[in-house]
Each structure stands twice: as structure tokens, then as C-alpha cells.
Structure 1
């Protein structure tokens, strides 16, 4: 009887280890291809991006900016309109201004979160 109990305990432990290993492997595969270095803030995540104001739209609360790479969002340079977190930001710049700014994805909307600073 003791031998049977030892065999059963051994099978139970082996099964638990197999399941735990499979779970860790599944989690590793789920994150495969993700740049885990960007999961923690570093200087690239807090850096400001450079751009040029193309349009200030007070009616929609947006700035159209021709920008370089947005490293914190892994986005290449392009021209696009961004919401502003604080409407007073719209009064700080005009079309043609070269700026440093920060954009973040807030609730699915790319938003200028730091007041644009003139270059």
C-alpha cells in the first residue's frame, strides 16, 4: 500500500511540475516579439520629440504636427493631428513653430501631454 501511495504522490508531483512548466512556457510565448526593455521607463520613454506645428485647431482641440520618431510609442516620423491634454497648449504655439513635445496614448487617443516647448 505504501508503495502505491508513493507512486501516486510521484505522479501528482510530476503532473504539477509539468503544468507549471507549461504555464511559464505559454507566458513566454505570449510575450515573444515584445520589446520588454520598453516595459520600464528609461530616458527614451521620458524624452521629448521634435516637431513642427502645421496647424492649430482650437475647434477640435488638436495640433497637427510634422514630427520625428516618437520613441515612447515606437512610431516613425510623419505628420498627424494630436489631441491636447490641456486646451491652453493651443495658445502657446502657432503654425510654423518648431517644438519639443510629448505624446502618449491616453484611452486609445494619441494626446500631447506636455506643453510644447519652442526649440
Structure 2
């Protein structure tokens, strides 16, 4: 009986852990090609987005924090983390 309870508890824990979404933490290199301050969006020519399973390309991202606009300039090389938030590709971290 005790073995069954331990097994059940382990199964529940495994299911709970697998249901939690993974948080992207891999920084990707890119170059800012366009900034749309009004829409709080930035176009980035980037390397492969490993955490999102996307190949290298140029695409538009939302910014998680509008203050990020103050640190960006067209032609600037950046490293960033992108996540899918509410279905939208969003830059969540810059360095």
C-alpha cells in the first residue's frame, strides 16, 4: 500500500512539473533593423531562436518593457531573450 502511494505521488509530481511551461533563458544575438516606438515593436535580424525552435531570420518583436526602447538603436548589435507571451513574440531581456 505504501509503495502504491509513493508511486502515485511521484506520478502526480511528474505530471505537475511537465505542465509548467519552460521559461526561455537562452540569449540570442541579433541586429536591430527597425524601431517602431509608437507600437513598442522592434525588428531584429537574429540567429536561431533555440528556445522557440525558430531558424535565423528577420522578424518583428514586441517589447516586454517599453523602457527597452531607450536602450535600442537601429544597426545596434544586441543579445536578447524572446518568449511567446499571449501568442506574441516578445523580447523579455536585453544585454
* TM-score category (smaller protein): 0.7 to 0.9
Which sections of structure 1, spanning at least 5 residues, go unmatched? Answer: 1-35
Classify the secondary structure of the residue corresponding to 1:46: coil
Cα offset for 1:40?
A: 5.6
Greater per-residue helix proportion: 1
Please list, as runs of the form range in 1=range in 2, the aligned pairs for 1:1-119 lying within 5 A after superposition: 45-114=24-93, 116-117=94-95
How many residues of Structure 1 are paired with residues of Structure 2 in the alignment? 76
Classify the secondary structure of the residue corresponding to 2:67: helix
CA RMSD between the two structures: 1.7
Over 2 Å off, 4+ runs: none
Relative contact order, CA 8 A, sep 6+: which one is greater?
A: 2
CA distance in 2, matches of 1:74, 1:106: 15
Q: Structure 2 length as normaliser, TM-score?
A: 0.74
Which sections of structure 2, spanning at least 5 residues, go unmatched? Answer: 1-17
Q: Structure 1 length as normaliser, TM-score?
A: 0.60
Greater per-residue strand proportion: 2
Per-residue CA deviation, residues 46-99 of structure 1 (Å, 9 max, x unaligned), is 220000000111011001000000000000010011000100101101001000
